[in-house]
Amino acid sequence: MLIVWITGDPVPPVRAKWAGFDAMYANVLDGVDGLRIESIDARADRLDRVPDGAGVLISGSPSSVTEIADHPWMQRLARTIVAEVARGTPLFGVCFGHQIMAHALGGEVTRNPAGFHMQSVQLAHVESVGPLAHLQANSWVNVSHEDHVHRVPPKARVIARALHDPHHALAYARHTLSTQFHPEFDREILRGYIDYRRTKLADAGHDVDSLLTGARDSFEGREVLRRWMIECVANV
């Protein structure tokens, strides 16, 4: 069983097609034997103890972990992450999920000094272990973020780096990891984000047409999520 903790919504043109991040994850995970998905809105709903045998996927969000002091729901989510990691619950954090996990477990999240990134990028370093075993240093992934993990939590291990983000994926335990990149973003979804944020990207100095042209399907990124889910299901 997969529980998705929803922490935000996609941009409107993407949401018009996909409804929410959980639908995108379901698309990536289509065909995984025995998969059931339950979605919980972490912004509003109570986060109960995760049932034994379930894995949790923490979604992306337009919210910023740097503003956690002003948002009780983020504080509640952080406390729940700590409790579930202590129980050994499999967790996978994506983008905001990557950042809130790092914050909760003793790291620090800040604005990325490299600026706002919304594009396909190549990884600069990968520790090919577990769900990332198929990735290489030149694998393409899709990103959309301004914040990043500035300081890695004490018990985390960096398992992937990008040129603009040295802590692009972290591992905490065999089935507990997080990625700054979006495994659910294909070329179409990424282009929808870029086009919607066109003005902001241009103001940040990006050539928006080049970003649109350079958007790719990231089969390697999608496979990370599939392999994590298959390992979790296999270990139930």
For the segment 92-108, the average pLDDT, to the nearest whole number, is 98
pLDDT per residue over 109-152, tens digit each? 999 999 999 999 999 999 988 899 899 899 999 999 999 999 99
pLDDT per residue over 148-201, tens digit each? 999 999 999 999 999 999 999 999 998 999 999 999 999 999 999 999 999 999
Q: What pLDDT is stored for residue 130 in this prediction?
A: 87
Q: Is the pLDDT of residue 233 over 80?
A: no
For the segment 85-104, the average pLDDT, to the nearest whole number, is 97
Cα-based angle 91, 224, 54 (whole degrees, multiple of 5): 30
Q: What pLDDT is stored for residue 174 in this prediction?
A: 86
Q: What pLDDT is stored for residue 45 in this prediction?
A: 81
Q: How many whole angstroms separate alpha carbon 94 and alpha carbon 59? A: 5
pLDDT grade, residue 234 (50/70/90)?
A: low
Q: Is the pLDDT of residue 8 over 60?
A: yes
Greatest Cα pair distance in the chain: 48
Q: Is the pLDDT of residue 81 over 60?
A: yes
For the segment 95-106, the average pLDDT, to the nearest whole number, is 98
For the segment 215-235, the average pLDDT, to the nearest whole number, is 90
Contacts of residue 5, defined as CB under 8 A and 6 or more positions apart, other chains included, come to 40, 42, 47, 56, 57, 58, 59, 77, 97
Q: Answer for the pair 47, 76: CB distance below 8 angstroms, yes or no.
A: yes
From 84, 95, 103, 148, the catalytic residue: 95
Beta bridge partners of 56: 3, 91
Please state, as a whole number, how many other Cβ atoms lie within 10 Å of the Cβ of residue 212: 16
Q: How many whole angstroms separate alpha carbon 89 and alpha carbon 87? A: 6
Domains of the chain: 2-234 (3.40.50.880)
Among this protein's residues, is 232 annotated catalytic?
Answer: no
pLDDT per residue over 28-79, tens digit each? 999 998 889 999 999 998 899 999 999 999 999 999 999 999 999 999 999 9
From 182, 206, 220, 232, the catalytic residue: 182
From 98, 117, 184, 206, the catalytic residue: 184
Q: How many whole angstroms separate alpha carbon 8 and alpha carbon 209? A: 27
Tell me the residue type at 29: L
Contacts of residue 4, defined as CB under 8 A and 6 or more positions apart, other chains included, come to 21, 22, 25, 37, 38, 39, 40, 56, 57, 59
